[in-house]
A and B are shown apart, each in its own frame.
Chain A
């Protein structure tokens, strides 16, 4: 059943929704990357909530002039206009007054949303009797999606993607270092505006499928997940688009398999699942990688300290150290060194002595910087240098214990 849905075998409507959601996810993921790197992820929250009055007013307007009122491009145009006004309000409040950006975002999103609800209640009482079903824009609804709607969504997503492709260099520059971008002659304010307009476009396109409360997730979660996997902006943007597209497509497919699985929330939860996977599994920044790094480091420290203790004939009480030494075949269960252990211990102690000299001699200042108590001296100094140090220390002696 799920496989049928994933490979678009579950009927016309389900296929339309899956394709549309996939396109939307790709566009949202790629666009969201720049928003996230610019540290303005939550701006999308203001954008999405500010679409509601526009949707309502567009409906009223179209109904008044005798149209059906549910004409999707008209509604989306209204949404885009009012979201644009919301964006202008946020930037005016941040620039012209002393309010910080988060207050401006919160104020705009709550006020616009409240005003939108006022308009929705007006529509509910309109005499036309045509129940608008505009509530579906809150949480998205894919049940009655038409071919034209899917085309609007796919085309909008594709256009957004194209714009991102065109503006990726300046947008990346501004996201990482606005001052440098300004010094290079880029108009930072205008590029910021481009980023926001693209986010706005994705939001408006996504209204129909995931709804205005959850479309934010499509802009925020994929880039955050993708950021775990790479430090290169292009890779992050591509991965983010991949995650977004995957969750849109898989989410829509899953929701088509059963009646009580609303599309928007399922897409967001699939997205969140990808985020959790990234959080744990990503190499480098992921939790598991960090944990193994930490454990490996811990083992090296314990082993080194254990060897030094063996070399100086001190008893070892620390359990982990003892276990590590025994597992490496360097010591017996009672803490007495094996032959190999004695050899390694002697070398460790001798290295320590060598390091002592390196760190006290200004000639070796550069090499002394890489001393961390763990690195073998032969990885830092040449054979000749070590020989010279050994000359000063004297010949090796046998470990007596």
Chain B
């Protein structure tokens, strides 16, 4: 394929997909180890009311208000889950289930009640994202990567998700020791004087931020899949956290790239002319990777634990 076709049409979505996958997979490692993997699922449901409210207040589908609204409703959801869990003495899973379904229902209702027919805002968009439509019309070929005029026309999602990815990398490397220790041995971390509650909260907030940023570009289904599948597959490959994170990044990149290519060109190879959903394909590929890891991964079984 020539650069003239690849750079404007496929490069930006591919990059966005890869960056989003990596940004989600990094905090995902800790969430999986802390048995909080479903936080990503919950967040991706609760951002819907936030986004709709942001639209109703501002009347536009700008990225800024949407992100604010999504962040706001994530914070509301985390607070609500904690409140229901503590006040009602309900187990965390059920508290989460009550909260995210109710908030998602409220979001759908708001969406139906408001007049959003003129703008591109619907539930399907929130679920699948619009990865394929993030094209770079100003590019004419590889040389455009060095052309500042053309670079200005990049889809705004690309720098946004790039920044998010950088932020997540910075967060993980700066808080590496506290995160690692409090994830594996919360009691020891507390005796060593670390604010474990605060660290846990920071992790959830970073995960929410990542989810919201990625959500905007690629839809919630990739977000949920990337929070869980690459880290889970990586967990079956190694016993060391550093190696696990390395594997998870590799798996995330592989899922995003392979999934995008398969979605875009797979049907062509099969003799059909329409591409399938890239978001769905990326999730599927990550699931295939997890399945392979579960079948053949070197560290797939529990060691030392009874085989119940």
Chain A residues close to B by CB (< 8 Å): 36, 39-42, 44-45, 92-93, 96-100, 102-107, 109-118, 120-122, 125, 135, 138-139, 213-214, 216-217, 220-221, 223-224, 227-228, 260-262, 264-266, 268-269, 271-272, 275, 279, 285, 287
A221 touching B290 in the complex, CB below 8 Å, given contacts A103-B228, A117-B221, A227-B90: no
Find chain B residues with CB under 8 A from A217 CB: 97-98, 101-102, 105
- A106's partner among B38, B102, B113 (CB-CB below 8 A) is B38
Find chain B residues with CB under 8 A from A113 CB: 221, 224, 280, 283
A103 touching B32 in the complex, CB below 8 Å, given contacts A41-B93, A117-B128, A279-B87: yes
Cross-chain contact A114 with B284 (CB below 8 angstroms): yes
Stretch at the interface among B158-166, B188-196, B270-278: B270-278
For this complex, 7 residue pairs linking A to B, each with C-beta atoms less than 8 Å apart, are A39-B93, A42-B97, A103-B37, A113-B280, A114-B284, A117-B127, A269-B109
Which of chain B's residues 33-48 have a Cβ closer than 8 Å to chain A? 35-38, 40-41, 45
- B280's partner among A116, A213, A264, A275 (CB-CB below 8 A) is A116
Find chain B residues with CB under 8 A from A104 CB: 232
Interchain CA distance A271-B102 in the complex, whole Å: 9
Cross-chain contact A36 with B101 (CB below 8 angstroms): no
- B101's partner among A120, A214, A261 (CB-CB below 8 A) is A214
Q: Is B56 close to A, CB under 8 A? A: no
- B94's partner among A138, A220, A228 (CB-CB below 8 A) is A220
Find chain B residues with CB under 8 A from A223 CB: 94
Cross-chain contact A115 with B287 (CB below 8 angstroms): yes
The 9 closest A-B pairs by CB, nearest first: A114-B283, A111-B287, A117-B280, A217-B101, A110-B225, A125-B274, A268-B105, A265-B105, A220-B97
Interchain CA distance A112-B45 in the complex, whole Å: 17
Nearest chain B CB to A219's CB is how many angstroms away?
8
Cross-chain contact B105 with A214 (CB below 8 angstroms): yes
A224 touching B106 in the complex, CB below 8 Å, given contacts A114-B287, A138-B124: no
Nearest chain B CB to A227's CB is how many angstroms away?
7
Cross-chain contact A110 with B229 (CB below 8 angstroms): yes
Stretch at the interface among B2-10, B174-182, B207-215, B295-303: B295-303
A102 touching B290 in the complex, CB below 8 Å, given contacts A109-B41, A114-B283, A221-B101: no
Cross-chain contact A115 with B280 (CB below 8 angstroms): yes
Interchain CA distance A113-B37 in the complex, whole Å: 16
Cross-chain contact B229 with A261 (CB below 8 angstroms): no
- B102's partner among A39, A105, A110, A269 (CB-CB below 8 A) is A269
Chain B residues close to A by CB (< 8 Å): 32, 35-38, 40-41, 45, 84, 87-91, 93-98, 101-102, 104-106, 108-109, 112-113, 123-124, 127-128, 221-222, 224-225, 227-229, 231-232, 235-236, 263, 267, 272, 274-277, 279-284, 286-287, 290, 294, 297, 299-303, 305
- A125's partner among B97, B272, B303 (CB-CB below 8 A) is B272
- A268's partner among B32, B102, B112 (CB-CB below 8 A) is B102
- A111's partner among B41, B275, B283, B301 (CB-CB below 8 A) is B283
Nearest chain B CB to A359's CB is how many angstroms away?
33
Q: Which partner residue on chain B sits nearest A98 by CB separation?
A: B302
Nearest chain B CB to A234's CB is how many angstroms away?
20
- A97's partner among B35, B124, B300 (CB-CB below 8 A) is B300
A106 touching B227 in the complex, CB below 8 Å, given contacts A213-B104, A269-B102, A272-B102: yes
Find chain A residues with CB under 8 A from B267 CB: 122
Nearest chain B CB to A176's CB is how many angstroms away?
14
Interchain CA distance A213-B124 in the complex, whole Å: 12
Find chain B residues with CB under 8 A from A112 CB: 287
> Beyond A103-B37, A117-B221: 11 further Cβ-contacts under 8 Å?
A42-B38, A102-B35, A103-B231, A114-B282, A115-B287, A118-B280, A121-B274, A121-B277, A139-B123, A216-B101, A217-B97
Cross-chain contact B123 with A138 (CB below 8 angstroms): yes
Interchain CA distance A109-B35 in the complex, whole Å: 16
Q: Which partner residue on chain B sits nearest A105 by CB separation?
A: B38
Q: Which partner residue on chain A sits nearest B114 by CB separation?
A: A260
